[in-house]
Amino acid sequence: MDSYWAAVAWSLLPTVVVLGLFVFVVRAILRMDRSERRAYSRVEAEERAKRGLPPVDGERRTV
């Protein structure tokens, strides 16, 4: 019976490791995108202020 559970564990281990790597990569991508958007918004606000334009409100429309 011990070899059965060992076989189950060894067969599930690669799936769990790949899932962990996938979650780590997707989380990193989402965090990078969020920080990039924040930096872009900051630069855009600075440029609008330099040109004397009003600040953009919180809701933005994308076409």
CA 27, CA 24: separation in Å to the nearest integer?
A: 5
CA distances in angstroms from 15 to 5, 25, 26, 28, 35, listed in the order given: 16, 15, 16, 20, 30
Rounded Cα distance, 29 and 45, in Å: 24
**Where in the chain are the domains?**
19-50
pLDDT given for residue 11 in this prediction: 94
At 1 the pLDDT is 67
Q: Considering the entire predicted model, what is its pTM? A: 0.64
Quote the pLDDT of residue 45: 92
- Per-residue pLDDT, 7: 93
Which of the 8 DSSP states describes residue 55? P
Give pLDDT tens digits along the chain (63 positions): 679 999 999 999 999 999 999 999 999 999 999 999 999 999 999 999 999 988 887 655 554
